[in-house]
Structure 1
């Protein structure tokens, strides 16, 4: 697509450059001050008056005097400056004055119509006579700088031929700039054809200027809206600089809008425009390919052209125009370096570098053409405006493509953002839920740490409390032995000391296990078990041991047969609970008493539960002591069997194990009627 657009634009530019009347240039140019226009050509043709004109150096010869004899003219090739003419004493200087003369033999077809002559820019003032009639002038000719008034811009003059020969006499003076003579062709033809040619030249330049102004102002507007991106600023400045230069060349449209501007300032503007444009071009390329352009070289070029602009501002035209060759050389050097940068960017695969490099190469060709043209090497006319317009149009298209890509990317981001917003609530909800779960885990961990801390504190307190009595006994026995009150070899006292150490070991082990249970330091291995079968197994394991004391041990199963009564338990830890309850029942039940292992079902709002209980007919527990039964180190009051020594941690350990299974423990007891210790576990769902 880009290639098609560029090809179409190139065709448009070529059309603008070549549109208009057919300009016929004979192979037989003017020779020795005479030119013959052949007949039988197209009616709308105009003819270039190129070739050898008579030239009289440092003489203003009147048209009437040229018809006399005794004058020895030189012959100068046109279009060119008289400084290009070689004489016996070398080339003529730029500053000076002289008279040009050309006789034109016209065909019969031109003798009856009003004719027109197109006069190009002539440096720097002239007066034109046609058939000894003053026809056109520009500025005021003079023999020195103070006597002349500079002015130069194209114009047309109209006249009616008096015969088959036209006599042109041209007085020219130049003392204000480096150029002399003229560097574009004179044209002659019918009046309407000359005017049509000039109108088409004007239309072409107006099209170029308006297009450049629109592009420049558009990109400056983009910069105002988005000042962070400086590329539109420099590109807009480049467009405006080229538009200004176009207004000051060719038909010099600038003077049609600002006719009162002094000649000196129009020349300054003409030279300022390239300096400004080149600086903007360098900065624009740098914004596009900063990694491919050397900063030192960039700053050197900017400094150089800034100095040139300053010199143009503070010096008169006769001085700063002498640096035209230097300015042109520097401009070509900048364009060559820019091409190097662009081809480097192209080699490195930078985006847009291919089209950029191609457009710049075309522009460089137009610039070289104009340099050769203005230095009278070739005569092709001013074409750099077309080349610059082509380049700027290509750059405008590249930048528009970049903005389009940015807009497309923005739209894609907007679409993705819209899709993301559609699921944002779900994501927030999921993440909030996850955060809540994490917070709950942290809170649980904190509770576990607190329990561990409290368990550690209680462990140390309980150790110091419960170990006091046995330690005191041990100390008393040992002190007695040391003092000789007790025989050191008495086995009975040694046995007592040994028993006290075993008791201390049991207290330590039970306290350690309780601390682990309360702090969550015990790892459970849960399995799904049938509670009826599990309890029945426990019953047969402990039956013989309990009955050896003369106690009746039975099992009461009240569970219905319609369910499987599955529960999740750690079999080893649950046996520890049942063993603790059974051994306590055995301990406090006298011989001849009865102990029963009971299974019952319970139904509540959460489903079914199983009650597992151990019932005995021992001495029972006082009602006031029931709330303290499952507290650590509780050993009861008057009903405690004195012959049985215990730590008072078994029920506390059992309660912690049951709570870790999601159950609860309890006790029912009446003094003198026995006790019922039980725990409740939930039945597995759908079982």
Structure 2
């Protein structure tokens, strides 16, 4: 256990040292172009014309006092005529660059990153590109933020660069990103390195997220795996949104304001997923009040982002970041440490990962507001955290697999004969259930349904009579005389033979039941009233022609009276149908027996 703690602590320490060295000494292609051979950074004092949109010709005629501004930096706070500038406005920048003579007539490029929030550029008096639409008001401006590479051939030793800016949509205005000049053959591969790095991060987040979602699809009980999968997808989307060049390649006509809202909302989604993960993994450590407060903050801040312009919600990045840090401080340092202290599974690794994420959020807030000069670290920390989750899950499944193997071997040893016993017991129970069902639903003498189950089956059909439902109530004529003359055994033999006749005739197309001593009933559907009368008459003749053998030397003929009830109505009561058929049967008996009578439906 001590070796594991030492190992993960060492990983954490090496990761932090590596990030710090990388941010201080290195340059991240996602944010800046490194200074290589034949690439020159144009970070210097540029001429600055506030509240003027001047082209190169107009600048030559400009006689007002020159102002200068440091690039890269935002113009917010710069003092002009004794007044500090706000972040909203428009201006013109100009720089003259002296190049070596051998650069004249060769392929060169100008790299611009993060110029907000709309601009158009001239090089040596020739308009080269327009990003968005420069305007003197928010109504005129169409904002667009993305890196840009402009190719040109210098015609003289002094290159003049003129850029008109407007910013009515972002928290910062002016050139607050890198501007570099260099040989096109060197500059393009350098930019591609940055795009490849972004692609690697996007792919890493995506495939880690997909891996966890697939695992969740196979094992849906572990919600934490699903949350981690969503975190991977959110990380991929956020990295894509930060890499504007890739995003504009995929969706060239996307509005910048929509992209900015998506970027902030995706970040909040990631924050919310971290909270969901902590709540799911450590429910006993998470308190209700901080949890509900974090949900409320998420709802309110998301609503604020959706409803306000980009210039408003981007200005409040400090509030946005500070609130997330406060909640994460609780979930990391209180919940995480408490879970680690209570030795929850994976708690120590999660604590390290979340602490790294929290440090990187603070770092990136300072970086994006240009308080420090560094690189963005949050995506790296997020990817490391997801990798840690993959390690935890892999360890958990390996442990579970070993445990299952042990249990399987034990079960095989213990339950050698259990399967056969279970099969025998199941077969026995099935037979008993079948016997119980038979006794509960079938008449013991005749083998047709008893009165109770017959009523149930007919009631089911009465809910949707479809093309008509007919109930035949059949009573054997003078059955008492058969019992009196030949005995009750002979009477039972007659009942059995008669019920067999009904089953053979109607079992496949209807329901047959014994509803009284010598009284039977048949229910048939999907026939008309006229067909019901014909069927009753056919049945009467069939019964009349039937010879029943009492024994080898004696056989008798029987007749039956039939009462018919017919309906096409929905939801009629069985009692009303039976009463109608019973009255019709009584009429058949009264008028001479051996008859079939159709009754008029009577409701009681």
Q: What band does the TM-score fall into relative to the shorter chain?
A: 0.5 to 0.7
Alpha-carbon distance in 1 for matches of 2:176, 2:327: 25
How far does the alpha carbon of each residue in 1:282-307 deviate from its partner, in whole angstroms, 9 at most, with x for none?
Answer: 11122222233222112211221122
Query: Per-residue deviation at 1:397?
Result: 2.2
Alpha-carbon distance in 2 for matches of 1:23, 1:258: 24
The residue that corresponds to 1:207 in the other structure is: 200
Is residue 2:375 matched to residue 1:384? no
The residue that corresponds to 2:415 in the other structure is: 421
Which one of 50, 68, 73 corresponds to residue 57 of structure 1? 50
The residue that corresponds to 1:126 in the other structure is: 119
Is residue 2:300 matched to residue 1:314? no
Alpha-carbon distance in 2 for matches of 1:292, 1:362: 21
The count of corresponding residues between Structure 1 and Structure 2 is 411
Task: Flag the 1:404–1:47 CA change in 2: closer, same or farther, 3 A.
Answer: farther
Alpha-carbon distance in 2 for matches of 1:326, 1:415: 58
The residue that corresponds to 1:240 in the other structure is: 233
RMSD: 3.2
Task: Flag the 1:423–1:164 CA change in 2: closer, same or farther, 3 A.
Answer: farther
Alpha-carbon distance in 2 for matches of 1:277, 1:258: 23
How far does the alpha carbon of each residue in 1:86-119 deviate from its partner, in whole angstroms, 9 at most, with x for none?
Answer: 4454431121100112222234554453111111
Which one of 354, 365, 387 corresponds to residue 359 of structure 2? 365
Alpha-carbon distance in 2 for matches of 1:100, 1:18: 26
Alpha-carbon distance in 2 for matches of 1:393, 1:293: 24
Alpha-carbon distance in 1 for matches of 2:70, 2:241: 26
Task: Flag the 1:8–1:323 CA change in 2: closer, same or farther, 3 A.
Answer: closer
Query: Per-residue deviation at 1:18?
Result: 5.4
The residue that corresponds to 1:351 in the other structure is: 345
Q: Is the 8 A contact 1:360 1:391 kept in 2?
A: yes
Query: Per-residue deviation at 1:393?
Result: 2.0
* Structure 1 residues 204-603: aligned runs within 5 Å: 204-340=197-333, 341-422=335-416
SS in 1 for 2:154: coil
SS in 2 for 1:417: helix
Deviates more, 1:102-111 or 1:11-20: 11-20
SS in 1 for 2:140: coil
Q: Is the 8 A contact 1:216 1:237 kept in 2?
A: yes
Q: Is the 8 A contact 2:105 2:155 kept in 1?
A: no
The residue that corresponds to 1:153 in the other structure is: 146
Alpha-carbon distance in 1 for matches of 2:297, 2:242: 24
SS in 1 for 2:316: helix
Alpha-carbon distance in 2 for matches of 1:394, 1:282: 17
The residue that corresponds to 2:65 in the other structure is: 72
Query: Per-residue deviation at 1:425?
Result: 9.3
5+ residue gaps in structure 2?
A: 423-604
Q: Is the 8 A contact 1:23 1:47 kept in 2?
A: no
Q: Is the 8 A contact 2:143 2:169 kept in 1?
A: yes
The residue that corresponds to 1:169 in the other structure is: 162
Task: Flag the 1:185–1:61 CA change in 2: closer, same or farther, 3 A.
Answer: same
SS in 2 for 1:163: coil
Q: Is the 8 A contact 2:93 2:163 kept in 1?
A: yes
TM value normalised by structure 2: 0.62
Point out the structure with max Rg over C-alpha. 1
5+ residue gaps in structure 1?
A: 26-41, 429-687
Q: Is the 8 A contact 2:145 2:244 kept in 1?
A: no
Task: Flag the 1:321–1:407 CA change in 2: closer, same or farther, 3 A.
Answer: same
| Higher relative contact order (CA closer than 8 Å, sequence separation 6+) | 2
SS in 2 for 1:253: helix
Query: Per-residue deviation at 1:252?
Result: 4.0
